[in-house]
Amino acid sequence: MKTLADLKKIREKAQEEMKLRGSNVRVKVVVGMGTSGIAMGAREVMKTFLEEISQRNLTDVLVTQTGEKGLSSMEPVVDVVEEGKDKVTYGNMTPEKVKKVVVEHIVNGRIVSEFVVTTGN
Amino acid sequence: MSLKRIDLLICCGSGCVSAGALKIKEKIQSVLKDKGLLNEINIIETGCMGPCDLGPVMIVYPEGIFYQKVTVNDVEELVEEHFIKGRPVKRLMAQDKQEQVVSTAKEIPFYQKQVKVALANCGYIDPESLDEYIAQGGYEALGTLLTEKKPADAIEIVSKSGLRGRGGGGFPTATKWKLAAGNKDSQKYIICNGDEGDPGAFMDRSLLEGDPHRVLEGMMIAAYAMGASKGFFYIRAEYPLAIKRIKGAIEQAREAGLLGKNIFGSKFEFDAEVRTGAGAFVCGEETALIHSIEGERGHPSAKPPYPSDKGLWGKPTCVNNVETFANLPTIFLKGPEWFASMGTKTSKGTKVFALTGDVKNTGLVEVPMGITLREMIFEVGGGIVGDRNFKAVQLGGPSGGCLTTEHLDVPVDYESLKEKGAMMGSGGVIVMNDSNCMVSIAKFFLEFSVEESCGKCSPCRIGLKQMLDIMERITSGKGKEEDIEELIRLGEAIKQLSLCGLGQTAPNPVLSTIKYFRNEYEAHIRDMSCSTSVCLDLMHFNIDKAKCIGCSLCAKKCPVTCISGSKEEKFTIHQLDCIKCGTCMEVCPVKAISKIPQMNDEVKACREKQRLQSEYEE
């Protein structure tokens, strides 16, 4: 490390590694992991999100989890929360659908209306 | 990019480690492994998070959920509920004043009045990771300084910030640097004073353990300002983890090119190493510390010459405290005006305190200067433990003094505390409830100073011992009316005549307690009574015959068989033989035995007889 630019490079990479601890999150994906969600494959859904986001190197997307959301008939249920926008809830998710949501919604900002259960808070 | 979705921060400060943090970590690792979750969860050992009495504590990100008093048995539930199902475990979370469960650390009352500058990363980053420190803006202050500013600018910035030495004395940091910078010697040294020795103080240890790179960066900023090319960390050997962490940080910095020649492409070159101290309290004094690094005996020497002229190996040297260094990177990043906006007229910024004693929330706290003692003890500290009342607070360890209820609204800054007879010190704060005997407390600190006096100058070596003899007399019921005046006379003389800071401040605990608790000294001397029953010679145990059921349990358990009686006559303690162990009181099933805060009449008469006899024989 010889210049401030080198330092900045290291900092950006390290911040990426630490993004779970706050700062610089554009989109938050919340996977419902209640008993029924898990029974319907929520873990697979979450894993696919993690893999897709990692592959595409989306540094400002955070995947987290929550408990039962009450929409048992639609499980696995996923919320996509963007700063300053209405929350979008997707239902009956599968790993295949996840890939589409990542490409369309998270990358390109187009809500995949065919999977949407509800929007707004 | 990793697949991690949870950052689990486990506090591995010494407090939590002794409460079992490492065992919990192992258990979590094994449970995660069984469930195949190891690659989703990042387990990070951090430095001290602060609330030591709630330990072991941990924080789970991204939610920022704060867990306290976690045990190995909680781990299964924690993993199953929170890490797999995303349902935080409420029973392990903190409660606020209204007894509502609070989820994140920020909501806990303990943190609300705190402002973290020196401790900003402590408990948040992995102290063994250079990258995590850099992610928090680490080494940017140094890089900018080296590439864009001159050493004189650095002194100017620190001067504007109003930063003063955090080791206790409160000497303006910029002035210290300026004196050394003015010296044109080709070799200069910078030293980090990590010889923290006050009983109950652990600020420096926590900083070195929790954020070693910050201290190193601070040292390098100071070195650039004063023109030093070599630095020494002087850390006591009782802090093995702090030594390991700072050594690790130096190693990482060397590998990354942050130490060595042409740092950040500038002409500045610097290297640092660690020297361990053998735990002598006097080595916290700068000249003694310097002698210790040189390999000499840790004795202080007379000033002048000051270390800024003739320090380590006769070269210009600056000795700064750990916390002083830890403040520097943030001052340079956020600007001196930002730092100076906190605090009082003469004391700027924040101060780290180790809050201990009879408060609910003991631990490591960082508060803005100028906060009142009341806020610190009752809001940050959460008030007095149990249903006892606040009696006194001891600041500054063996060099400081005790303050009382009437001082609760005194702002915490260098001048205000000194004026009242205490001192900022390095930051040890011991809160005491009304079960503490102030004479005994003063005696405890005096004992410490007598033990730690290096013996070089006679006021400290002989004078403190004389004071201790008097204190021992007073606490054993042999005090004389003139003893209080004699203590004051000796104390004042020792303060004026001693060679170094140890002797110059050692009488403070006694002098300040005489000032504010003179009635307790008088009660010890005149009435032979210790109202708190702490001084064993000035109290006795008594069996209330009306309550005694004659079960004989006390007599059976008494280790010196000084209790006798029968079911009919009830039981009696033979006071002359009693060793005041208190066992009888503990075992009594009907609580018939109590402490009487006065010397027993029988004992008093016996002592008087002995005294007359010895006078007669002479």
What mean pLDDT is predicted for residues A75-82? 85
pLDDT of residue B201: 87
pLDDT of residue B2: 55
**Measured between alpha carbons, how far is B590 from B158 in angstroms, rounded to an integer?**
65
pLDDT of residue A13: 86
**Cβ atoms A112, A104 nearer than 8 A:** yes
What are the CA-CA distances from residue B597 to residues B333, B480, B514, B528 (Å)?
Answer: 58, 19, 20, 9
pLDDT of residue B597: 92
Q: Is residue A10 part of a domain?
A: no
What are the CA-CA distances from residue B268 to residues B220, B258, B360, B408, B520 (Å)?
Answer: 10, 11, 48, 48, 59
A121 — pLDDT class (breaks 50, 70, 90): low
B130 — pLDDT class (breaks 50, 70, 90): very high
Does A54 contact B at CB distance below 8 Å? yes
Instruction: Say yes or no to pLDDT of B313 above 60.
Output: yes
Residues of chain B contacting A51 with CB distance shorter than 8 Å: 3
Here the tokens at position B311 are: 């320090």
- A66:B86 CB<8 A: yes
Q: Which of A28-37, B110-119, B277-286, B425-434 has the lowest mean pLDDT?
A: A28-37
- B84:A38 CB<8 A: yes
**Cβ atoms A68, A78 nearer than 8 A:** no
Whole-number mean pLDDT of chain B? Answer: 91
B250 — pLDDT class (breaks 50, 70, 90): very high
Nearest Cβ partner of B85 from A4, A34, A51? A34
Instruction: Say yes or no to pLDDT of A24 above 70.
Output: no
What are the CA-CA distances from residue B210 to residues B129, B245, B351 (Å)?
Answer: 11, 8, 16
**Cβ atoms B206, B122 nearer than 8 A:** yes
- A21:B85 CB<8 A: no
What mean pLDDT is predicted for residues B51-72? 88
Residues of chain A contacting B264 with CB distance shorter than 8 Å: 1-4, 7
B337, with CB counted inside 10 A (0-12, 13-18, 19+), is: exposed
**Measured between alpha carbons, how far is B83 from B66 in angstroms, rounded to an integer?**
14
Torsion of Cα atoms, A50 then A51 then A53 then A59, to 10°? 80
pLDDT of residue B160: 95
Which stretch of DSSP H or E encloses residue B404?
strand B401-404
Which stretch of DSSP H or E encloses residue B44?
strand B41-46
Instruction: Say yes or no to pLDDT of A32 above 90.
Output: no
Q: How far is B216 from chain A (nearest CA, A)?
A: 16
Residues of chain B contacting A75 with CB distance shorter than 8 Å: none
Instruction: Please give the share of chain B, as a percent, with pLDDT higher than 90.
Output: 71
Q: Suggest the residue from A3, A7, A33 to mutate for an interface test with chain B (most B CBs closer than 10 A).
A: A7
Q: Is residue A14 part of a domain?
A: no
**Cβ atoms B606, B613 nearer than 8 A:** no
Q: Is residue A111 part of a domain?
A: yes
- A15:B135 CB<8 A: yes
Count Cα neighbours of B529 within 13 Å in the Cβ-side half-sphere.
12
CA-based angle B80:B81:B82, to the nearest 5? Answer: 105
Residues of chain A contacting B137 with CB distance shorter than 8 Å: 11
- A20:B4 CB<8 A: yes
- A51:B3 CB<8 A: yes
Range of the domain at A104: 24-119
Residues of chain B contacting A63 with CB distance shorter than 8 Å: 5
Per-residue pLDDT tens for B12-32?
888 888 899 999 999 999 999
Residues of chain A contacting B132 with CB distance shorter than 8 Å: 14, 17-18
Q: How far is B416 from chain A (nearest CA, A)?
A: 39
What mean pLDDT is predicted for residues B228-247? 93
Does B265 contact A at CB distance below 8 Å? yes
Instruction: Say yes or no to pLDDT of B98 above 70.
Output: no
Closest by CA to B130, choosing from B214, B198, B52, B60, is B214
Closest by CA to B500, choosing from B465, B457, B450, B446, is B457
Q: How far is B258 from chain A (nearest CA, A)?
A: 7
B227, with CB counted inside 10 A (0-12, 13-18, 19+), is: buried
Q: Is residue A11 part of a domain?
A: no
Residues of chain A contacting B63 with CB distance shorter than 8 Å: 64
SS3 content of chain A, % helix, strand, coil (to 5): 45, 20, 35
Here the tokens at position B313 are: 């190996």
What mean pLDDT is predicted for residues B318-331? 96
**Measured between alpha carbons, how far is B238 from B208 in angstroms, rounded to an integer?**
13
Per-residue pLDDT tens for B146-205?
999 999 999 999 999 999 999 878 899 999 999 999 988 889 999 999 999 888 888 999
- B62:A57 CB<8 A: no
Whole-number mean pLDDT of chain A? Answer: 82
Q: How far is A119 from chain B (nearest CA, A)?
A: 22
Q: Is residue A94 part of a domain?
A: yes
**Measured between alpha carbons, how far is B133 from A36 in angstroms, rounded to an integer?**
41
Does B6 contact A at CB distance below 8 Å? yes
Q: Is residue A4 part of a domain?
A: no
Task: Supply the CATH number for residue A90's domain.
Answer: 3.40.30.10
Here the tokens at position B414 are: 């260098």
Domains of chain B: 6-112 (3.40.30.10), 130-340 (3.40.50.11540), 350-433 (3.10.20.600), 438-527 (1.20.1440.230), 540-596 (3.30.70.20)
Q: Which of A52-66, B219-233, B600-614 has the lowest mean pLDDT?
A: A52-66
Does A9 contact B at CB distance below 8 Å? no
Does A39 contact B at CB distance below 8 Å? no
pLDDT of residue B1: 42
Instruction: Say yes or no to pLDDT of B577 above 70.
Output: yes
3-state secondary structure of B333: helix
User: Structurally, how many domains does chain A consist of?
Assistant: 1
Instruction: Please give the share of chain B, as a percent, with pLDDT higher than 70.
Output: 99
**Measured between alpha carbons, how far is B241 from B16 in angstroms, rounded to an integer?**
13
pLDDT of residue B264: 93
B509 — pLDDT class (breaks 50, 70, 90): very high
Per-residue pLDDT tens for B486-498?
999 999 999 999 9
pLDDT of residue B99: 66
pLDDT of residue B496: 96
Q: Is residue A9 part of a domain?
A: no
pLDDT of residue A23: 58
B497, with CB counted inside 10 A (0-12, 13-18, 19+), is: middle
Does B38 contact A at CB distance below 8 Å? no
- B85:A46 CB<8 A: no
A109 — pLDDT class (breaks 50, 70, 90): confident
Please state the pTM of the whole predicted model.
Answer: 0.86
Does B559 contact A at CB distance below 8 Å? no
pLDDT of residue B3: 66
Count of CB atoms situated within 10 Å of the CB of B286: 25
What mean pLDDT is predicted for residues B387-404? 90
